[in-house]
Structure 1
Amino acid sequence: MLIPKGALIVSCQARADNPLHGPIFMSAMARAATAGGAAGFRANGAEDVAAIRAISTHPIIGIDKVWDDRFPVYITPNFSAAARIARAGADIIGVDATRRPRDGEPVDQLIARIRQELGREVFADVATLEEGRAARAAGATYIATTLSGYTEETAASRDAGPDLELLSVLVAIGEGPVVAEGRFDTPQLVAEAFKRGAHAVVVGTAITNPREITRKFVEAAAPWASAPNDDAS
């Protein structure tokens, strides 16, 4: 098993519209996270994975986001995406393990091919207990709560913070390591995840997205902010 128990994994990702988008910035973010004590990374795309691999020996959960308006699944939806990430240096391949339509083979077949043909462990992003059980049965090493709140079935829970209940029930079935991911934005929530039995916790935006962090502070300041012309003479 590559991810040590009790690990904090930092998700180093930035979309194309983010000023920190690109491998130079993501490798720098990984360096900063390492200095802070991170035990591994989650990264998107072959370039970012390779850049982080070049500066770190920590485990990398690699994903490849493939956007297609015809399909809701975009996190490593097929084997070719998984192979790109493996070649770039990812130790573990992250996949969307929900049962939603995808541009690729069924998720159980995808997991099996990653294990058998690429020789990589699989990190299964799920939204429900049933999806977690199915991914484990298909051969996924890690089951993560990443997509709870981001599927049609679970969307109502998105504004309620991390899905700690899903974490607890996945841990309770006792079939292997469960990782907490998704809206863990305070140290207190990370601690609660470990209390509930998480093997590791992944934190992204709260650490690596200064644009979104700034927006939260600006929203808090909004009631006291002057209108643009308030100070004009």
Structure 2
Amino acid sequence: MNRDTFFSNIHKNLIVSCQALEDEPLHGSDIMAKMSQAAKEGGAKAIRSNSASDVAAIKKQTGLPVIGLLKRDYPDNEVFITATLKEVKELLAVNPDVIALDATIRKRPHGETLKDLVSYIHGQSDTLVMADIATLRDAEYAIECEVDMISTTLSGYTSDSPKFEGPDFDLVERLSKTSTVPVIAEGRIQTPDQARRMLELGAWSIVVGSSITRPQLITKTFTEKIRML
């Protein structure tokens, strides 16, 4: 899928993040493929997915554009979303439409840089780059590195970003007014009204994950509320 078609498809539409880590009940590429199919049938226009195997399974199952990432921890380093060239190469092998990677100003493992990873992706493929950011400063840095879009994925999860229980509406609004690339709203979007508000504030599209695809967490919201009686 080319750049213009991708951005047209997701504009003012929903992207669903279908991810389950190894310690979660729904972990497994076959399960994530079926979860993604359910999201497609509900109207999702793209899927955000963790690991090369999940990306491949979801593309085969749904035919939707897939935003791939690879979470991997490195010793003494805070960056874990597609942190190095190793993860980039693993993802490129399964041809995702987009690669999402940590685009904060934090240092990456092995002294690698965001600019080098973005240049490699663009030089080796037609794959687009989604920059996962936490602050306005991160966004400026990512745009300087020539990413194709920015996502507010990491707002509230870095030491230099404010902590919210809900979505970071202010960051999305400010970015939407200043960014030269599309702004994707992501992070703690828990209701359809919150999703709609993000679009009203100028987000190109929105990503929702746990509130749709992690039933153990959805169930927990009910049980905790019941226990308050």
Q: Which moved more, 1:199-208 or 1:117-126?
A: 117-126
Larger Rg over CA atoms: 1
The equivalences for 1:193-232 within 5 A come to 193-224=198-229
2:170 to 135, 157, 165: 165
- TM-score scaled to structure 1, two decimals? 0.92
CA drift at 1:193: 0.3
Tell me, yes or no, if the aligned pair for 1:97 and 1:126 is still in contact at 8 Å.
Answer: yes
Q: How does 1:66-77 map to 2 (within 5 A)?
A: 66-77=72-83
SS of the equivalent of 1:75 reads coil
2:219 is matched by which residue type in structure 1?
Answer: T
Matched, 1:191 2:203: no
TM-score, length basis structure 2: 0.93
Amino acid at match of 2:32: M
Counterpart CA distance in 1 for 2:190 and 2:93 is 31
How far does residue 69 in structure 1 lie from its aligned partner after superposition?
3.4
Runs (4+) off by over 2 Å: none
Q: Which moved more, 1:87-96 or 1:97-106?
A: 97-106
Give the percent of matched residue pairs that are identical in Structure 1 and Structure 2.
38
Q: Take 2:221 and 2:18, find their aligned partners in 1: how far apart are those partners?
A: 19
Aligned to 2:118: 111
Contact 1:9–1:39 (CA<8 Å) still a contact in 2?
yes
Partner of residue 49 from structure 2, selected from 43, 49, 54: 43
State the superposition RMSD in angstroms: 1.2
Total equivalences in the alignment:
222
* Residues 53 and 89 in structure 1, CA contact (< 8 A), matched pair in contact too: no
1:14 aligns with 2:20: yes
Residue 231 of structure 1: aligned partner: none
1:16-35 matches, within 5 Å, as 16-35=22-41
Q: CA deviation at 1:67?
A: 1.2
Q: What residue ranges of structure 1 are gaps of 5+ in the alignment? A: 225-233
1:183 shift after superposition: 0.3
Q: Which amino acid aligns with 1:165?
A: D
